[in-house]
Amino acid sequence: MNRKERIRRCIAKRAAQELRDGDVVNLGIGIPTLVNDYIPSEITIHLHTENGMLEVGPTPPPDQADPQLINASRQPISELPGASYFDSGLSFAIMRGGHLDATVIGALQVSQTGDLASWAIPGKPILGVGGAMDLVVGAKRVIVATTHQTKEGEPKLLPKCTYPLTARGEVDVLVTEHAVFRFEEGKMILVEIGDHLALEDLKSITPAEYEIHPHLKVVNRWEGLEQVWEDPVEVRG
């Protein structure tokens, strides 16, 4: 496993801890697809995939993958007992109708007021919004799982998004490799920071304005995962 993949899995593992027993959840493309591998064993989650399946199981070993059983990211998946299949119309009705307890989604940018930009970078080929707008507006909780910075070292957590918006003020929780933020009443609140990073270092790579929770948690983000850097400020997405 290379350095980039370890960072992605660090984020996915922490995002999985935001899920609650019995939740019906949609996982977006990219890092969110890895959340399925870290769902706590003591809870039951009902995973929905945008291309028309409920009760998605863990990622199968390569030699057991069914080429006709994939998620919306075209990655191999497995099915759990009781799995059901349906067309895109019903799948989007589940998303738009408020039937998802949570969605875990990636981001290009997140603003300090919980705005989300996830589908287009000006001047570059359009990624396409897909079902992201439906997910973030329809789900009861929106959990963003993303690297703290871009590959070029540019910040993703900003006072205001500069890319086209997916939705305004819909983000509830933001998980990066360095920290966890919650959004309450239009405010961004730091609730958890990795013990590999000082508060002043986090601020230096986070232009967004945020408050620090009075009971801020300092945690080992790499428990169960291999350490991936010496100087965390230099980590790139």
Quick check: 167 and 198 in contact, CB under 8 A? no
Q: Rounded to whole angstroms, what are the CA distances from 206 to 45, 66, 148, 203, 218?
A: 32, 42, 8, 5, 17
CA–CA dist 60, 57 (Å, integer)? 8
CA–CA dist 145, 139 (Å, integer)? 15
CB neighbour burial string for 60-83, b if at least 16 within 10 angstroms, e if fewer: eeeeeeeeebebbeeebbbbeeeb
CA–CA dist 121, 164 (Å, integer)? 8
Catalytic member of 50, 55, 170, 177: 50
Q: Identify the burial level of 92 via C-beta atoms within 10 angstroms of its C-beta, where 0-12 means exposed, 13-18 middle and 19 or more buried.
A: middle
154 catalytic per annotation: no
CA–CA dist 74, 135 (Å, integer)? 18
For strands 46-49 and 53-57, give the pairing. Answer: antiparallel
The letter for the amino acid at 105 is: I
Q: Catalytic residue positions?
A: 50
